Structure 1
Amino acid sequence: MRCTLKSGSFVAAGALAITLLTGCSGNAAKDEFEKLDAKEFEVVYEVTGDGVKTLMYEEGGKGEISSESVDDPKLPWKKKLTMKGIATAPNVSLILGEKGGQADCVITINGMEAKRATAKGEFGTASCVAVSPAGKSG
């Protein structure tokens, strides 16, 4: 089956809706998404400094995402894992205690720093969220 879109805002919008509803676009887009969603990448989370009361991070082994937390972590703290998928967003965050301090969170993806943040002072917070490299070429 071949589908074509005609110009004109109402006609094009209607044709696009029909294309999406009937699947006329074929499986090319779906196949491409599934290919990107299967791409794996290495993530390293690091937290350094002092005064961290709690840190939280996302795990994404085998494409399944779960949140984990560590109370009173021994610093420096480091976690290496493999994540996959175009919609995966590696993230790590931290909360300082009532005595304050200063701490950094860092996310490295495939050996390159992707995000860094610093928390300072009493109950300070820092959050690092990175974008999946699965959609990038190369």
Structure 2
Amino acid sequence: MNRTIRAAVCAVATAGLALGLSSCSEAVDQVDKAVDETYEVTYEVTGKNVDSIEFHGGGGKAMEPKVESVSKPELPWKKTVTLRGIMPAAVMPVAADPEGAQVTCKIIHKGKVLEEQSAEGLVTAGGCTAESPIGK
């Protein structure tokens, strides 16, 4: 992202903070509009007995992303989504198994793993959240 856009985003965010918490959502909306660049991530989930997967699918606003879900997914599960601006990438698989649930999630951007987490136990929720690569 070039300096002009970065400076504009910082100015909008700073102005929003100066106006107090009541104006915070307005500042986020302004940042959302200013940073309209998109990026793709691929979510990957492996494990056993995963009951559901929730993930940011690309809709909504940066600080209120639309959450999509899949029930009883076939594993390994993979989904590529397009996100916008400063919206974080996030995926949360949930598994339950009396013999021990296992789950691993990954968030991949341009071949690089941005986040990876694993969990196991009777009931497991292994979530991955990654910061937007835009502006880095």
* Fold similarity call, TM over 0.5: yes
CA distance in 2, matches of 1:70, 1:126: 15
Q: Which has the larger radius of gyration?
A: 1
Retained in 2: the 8 A contact 1:37–1:85?
Answer: yes
Retained in 2: the 8 A contact 1:95–1:119?
Answer: no
Q: Provide the aligned length of Structure 1 versus Structure 2.
A: 108
**Distance apart, 1:98 and its partner CA:** 3.2
CA distance in 2, matches of 1:70, 1:103: 15
Find the partner of 2:50 among 52, 62, 82.
52
- Aligned letter for 1:57? F
Deviations 1:54-78 (A, max 9, x none): 1110111596831111111100000
SS in 2 for 1:114: strand
1:69 aligns with 69
Find the partner of 1:38 among 36, 39, 46.
36
Give the fraction of aligned pairs with identical amino acids, expressed as a percent.
36
**Distance apart, 1:36 and its partner CA:** 6.1
SS in 1 for 2:83: strand
CA distance in 2, matches of 1:56, 1:128: 11
Retained in 2: the 8 A contact 1:107–1:116?
Answer: yes
Q: Mind listing any 5+ residue stretches in structure 1 that lack a counterpart?
A: 1-15, 22-32
CA distance in 1, matches of 2:96, 2:35: 38
**Distance apart, 1:132 and its partner CA:** 0.3
2:112 aligns with 112
After superposition, the CA RMSD in angstroms is: 2.7
CA distance in 2, matches of 1:94, 1:34: 27
**Distance apart, 1:35 and its partner CA:** 8.1
Q: TM-score, normalized by length of structure 2?
A: 0.68
Query: Which 4+ stretches in 1 moved above 4 angstroms?
Result: 33-36, 61-64
